[in-house]
A and B are shown apart, each in its own frame.
Chain A
């Protein structure tokens, strides 16, 4: 079964850092188009970053609000995607989802909550 499971969310103070993980099973992360999407409480969906497939160069892109603060990486040996978040602000409070797109699937994890508060 194709599945994504996020972890690493929690409460962090403004200016702090957090690293989210997204473990994949049933497919190889390096062959999928992976994205991190967030949803602030009661709000809509926002793409924060993506990492291309290895065959497409494996490069990363970010949205303006997180560029320079967030970094996406992938550990192929663990089949896990990461989102390193630095210099967090209250505006980053949200549920963070990882999303994977392959030739025959489009799947989302269950999400992990990140709360930035003093």
Chain B
């Protein structure tokens, strides 16, 4: 199975400051169709996960533009330009290229 490694696992951030989460895969996530199926999810406390970013850098409808995704191959990043109180939660990357799809361990974002 593809191993997804996130860092850091805990991220205390000051309101209004930027935050960055790294996600590395144990093998390339480029699929045979040329797409890279790397997804970012947000899970707020007590809620179901919600997709933020798909195919590395495409923001879902309704997701604030302070969230952005980048990367290629095996190295990916989720950035929050200015953290707001509602961004508290756990963020997961997931690869949808190789079955079984696998998630990173999660990064807990909290306000300092």
Chain A: residues with CB nearer than 8 A to chain B? 35, 37, 44-47, 50, 61-64, 97, 104, 106, 108-111
Contacts and interface: CB of A to CB of B under 8 A. Distances in A.
A104 to B, nearest CB: 8
Contacts of B48: 97, 108-111
A47 B101 contact: yes
Contacts of A35: 101
Q: In the complex, which range does the number of interface residues on chain B fall in?
A: 20 to 34
Contacts of A64: 1, 100
A62 B99 CA distance: 8
Contacts of B101: 35, 47, 50
Given A106-B54, A106-B60, A44 B103 contact: yes
Majority secondary structure of chain A interface residues (helix, strand, loop or mixed): strand
A67 to B, nearest CB: 10
A97 B41 CA distance: 14
Most buried by A among B43, B49, B100, B105: B100
B50 interface: yes
10 A-B pairs with least C-beta separation: A106-B51, A108-B48, A63-B100, A45-B103, A47-B101, A44-B106, A61-B99, A47-B100, A44-B105, A108-B49
A34 to B, nearest CB: 13
Contacts of B41: 45
Contact of B92 (A44, A50, A63, A97): A44
Contacts of A50: 99, 101
